[in-house]
A = this chain, B = another copy of it.
Amino acid sequence: MQYYVDGFRPGDPDLKPAAPGRAPTLGRKDLPEKVDVLIAGCGPAGLCLAAQLSQFPDIHTMIVEPKPGPIEKGQADGVNVRSMEMFQAFGFAEKVKREAYWVNQTNFWMPDPKNPDHIARVGRQQDVADDQSEMPHTLMNQARIHELFLDVMRKSPARLDPDYGLAVQTLEIDTTTDDHPVTVTLERADGTTTTVRANYVVGADGARSNVRKAIGGKLHGDAAHQAWGVMDILANSDFPDLRMKNLITSAKEGNLLILPREGGYLFRMYVELDKLNPDERVAARNLTVDHMIAAANRIMKPYSIDVKEVVWWSVYEIGHRLTDKFDDVPEGETATRMPRVFTMGDACHTHSPKAGQGMNVSMGDAFNLGWKLAQVLGGRSDPSLLHSYTEERRTEAKRLVDTDHEWARIMSAPLTPGELDGSEMPRFQKHFVANLEFTGGLAVRYDPSPIVADGAQQALATGLPLGKRFHSAPVVRMADAMEMQLGHVAEADGRWRIYAFAGKDDSSAPGSRIHALADWLENDPASPVRRYTRTGEDIDAVIDVRAVFQQDFRDLDYEDMPSLLKPAKGTFGLRDFEKVFCVDHKNGHDIYDMRGIDRAQGCMVVVRPDQYVAHILPLDATGELAEFFAGFLLP
């Protein structure tokens, strides 16, 4: 963690210096007339975007929420490894790791072949495969995740707080101007309204999104006509695996999911309830928490639960829905019109909660959109970059909805004889294993586009697939022999990163390929580092270059390092010592082996601000590198 570069400040290092004129706004009465970005909704999507934008001192963001304050419990609880990796970039992964439940194992229970009225454990599965991520899969209530984002916002340069008690009612877009073209009507709890003008509006206002409606978006999809219940409870049980995640199938009473939760006592159950008739709404059944508890006790026989406190519960019907477009530009007009309004999260796609994806995918939307908005608002990219949001995220959402569909189908089909007599691995388990990468949030792969190179040389880094998230691995920081994750240098700061992996025997002596690349990046007029970094900015303000060497840290010499790898930064021009890394020889974690990096030649890996691999090139492919950045950055 780096701080004090502009001088010592006492206190919490996460509390960043406020941008000029910024002060906490919680509960303010006077609303601004114009903002850069107006976000509707304080769910995980809205808060993640707000946390991201609040890092930029020049961007004015407003986030509105009809509720009078933060929620306290309920809703989603699954944080997959990909979201944990993103939390690391926001600085609160350690907090979640400490507080949350870790899903280490998932167990599978089926009717006991000897006594099908009883369930028996038939399988166990490690939940996060080895080296799938350096992060655990965790479970923690959504309200607490909200708080952690709110904390980031409050401590950011923008000192951003939500404006509670305000709902987006509707909005209008003036396509003839670029000066705050979206006029948003906000409604107060008492029904009165006010307006605010924004350059961009983002609807993170949930499944009934008014923003979606205002831009004519429609959710398409279907329902499974199946009622489910979810409850967060404090309870005792003789069920032996109460602190593991369990997928339970009973012979006749339906399915049950047990998810242990933060704090060691709380857990969540998803309980299969009644089949619904076509056209029937779940509300019509008047299902209560008592129905749920009774159903759970029937499903988990011979075990039972004795509920002491119901913290939260809800009954719902599975549905899978998706909007055509995640922004306001009609199909066919993308060449001539730039997006001004976006939807994220449940506002544009909904799926079954049991897959635990809702919160994760919503935050993934926000992390994708955040840096793009910042880059366009900062004048660093053409607004056409914003088209890529709907392109990239709708594809992912579609995949999610499809997978979810399949999962629901698999879950609801009757058990086969092989499953019932125990001769066959239950399909839950099969499907679960096959989908580990997907549920971890790691299957996301963006297609080639101006921000994901086409002609990349994947062979130079076979373990870092282009368009997928940069998969971190252990390294040792040269300057202080710190054993750490290379991926953790990436903060949620909107910067691009180039990881330059040195070839064999390259110790950065003058004339070596690493040295030459760094010198070119620092000095050549064609270098993207030179072209896109503005006067007065730190040399790594736009593109942050880091190098990794194959030698032990003891065998490298700081004096040999090119000046780009020991840059002078901040008010005082202090040298940054955190740009150079080595293979972790001591612990035998060789990042070259782990990520399939070409030992002989080395390579450059270009990584987007949202941590996705954008390009892979030989160390001397300076022309191609320049060309790639010229595809979306403005000088």
Contact = CB atoms under 8 A, between A and B. Distances in A.
A234 B264 contact: no
A480 B101 contact: yes
A578 to B, nearest CB: 6
A557 interface: yes
A401 B309 CA distance: 56
Nearest to A264: B2
B263 A4 contact: yes
A481 interface: yes
Contact of A480 (B1, B8, B102, B124): B102
A568 interface: yes
Contacts of A234: 4, 7-8, 572, 574
Contacts of A243: 479-480, 577
Contact of A263 (B13, B558, B575): B13
A5 interface: yes
Contacts of A5: 263-265
One complex includes copies of this chain to the number of 2
Nearest to A97: B94
A263 B2 contact: yes
B262 A309 contact: no
Interface in A217-264: 232, 234-236, 240-244, 260, 262-264
A99 B266 contact: no
A266 B8 CA distance: 8
A524 interface: no
A265 B2 contact: yes
A143 to B, nearest CB: 6
A391 interface: no
Nearest to A477: B243
Interface string A527-547: 000000000000000000000
A481 B104 contact: yes
Contacts of A1: 98-99, 262-264
B263 A3 contact: yes
Contact of A244 (B13, B104, B480): B480
Interface of A: 1-5, 7-8, 10-13, 72-73, 94-95, 97-99, 101-102, 104-105, 124, 143-144, 147, 232, 234-236, 240-244, 260, 262-266, 308-309, 311, 479-483, 554, 557-559, 568, 570, 572-578
